[in-house]
Amino acid sequence: MSSEKSVKLETVFDDRNDKTGPFKEQTTQGSKSKTGSKERVRWRACGRRRQCRYVPKPAPLPNKPWEPQFKLKLNPPDYIKMSWVRGVSVYSEMTIQNTQSTPTCYKMKCTDNSQFRVRPPMNFIDQGGSASVKIIHNSFVLPEPNKHYFAIYHVKCTPEDMRARNFKRVWKSSAAMDGVIRIPIAFETADLKISTNSTKQKPGSSAPPTSSTMTKTVSAPLKQSKTPTGKSSGKKK
């Protein structure tokens, strides 16, 4: 059921796909004959422009004064990018690498448990090893920008705790954590993209880029189709 929803929404977002979705409906409703009118309806849908808005990536979230710095290695390191589709579960993966000389245990917390799921939310990592974490999101409404983030904590543990997987003993005191980091979440849609070069400036300009420079018009390529009389239907309405 979720796959059918995702395919239908993709065709609504991208009007250049001429096989399913809006094209199939428009060609069926707007064509009375099997020749020219069907091609003209398809051409008008292809020539329609879409607005693609580019926003800067989220800024890093600083630690509180009493919190220790994060000592593990993350991939991605600064923020999590997720694609939002209405009513469809999407996920993103993150890798946590233990660069310390002792085993460590991590745990992850999110800002909204009704929208996000982490698998696994807590795990042990041996020295020099790594662990993969899957972040799942499902929402019918596009989340607000710069609102949600994940907090990752880690603490040293012994090989005995790692073999016994004794999470309760490792996390018996919150003051025992060795590091913490907060990773913001950025959502992308078909009309909203994360700009990776938002801080770059053009040569000779001293002012930083404004929000107006983040807007870009994306138009589909123009396709001319020939009618049975040999004339091309290149007239745009």
3-class secondary-structure state, position 13 = helix
Contacts of 229 (CB under 8 A, 6+ apart): none
Closest by Cα among 62, 42, 12 to 189: 12
pLDDT tens digits, the chain, 237 residues: what are they?
444 443 333 333 333 443 433 433 333 344 444 444 443 433 334 344 556 777 788 888 999 999 999 999 999 999 999 888 888 888 999 999 999 999 999 999 999 999 999 999 999 999 999 999 999 998 888 888 888 999 999 999 999 989 999 898 898 865 578 999 999 999 888 777 777 664 444 433 333 333 333 333 233 333 444 444 445 445 544
Distance CA(46)–CA(16), nearest Å, equals 5
**Which tokens is 120 given?**
């696994």
**Which tokens is 225 given?**
């189709």
Q: Which domains does the chain have, with CATH numbers?
A: 1-47 (no CATH), 56-195 (2.60.40.10)
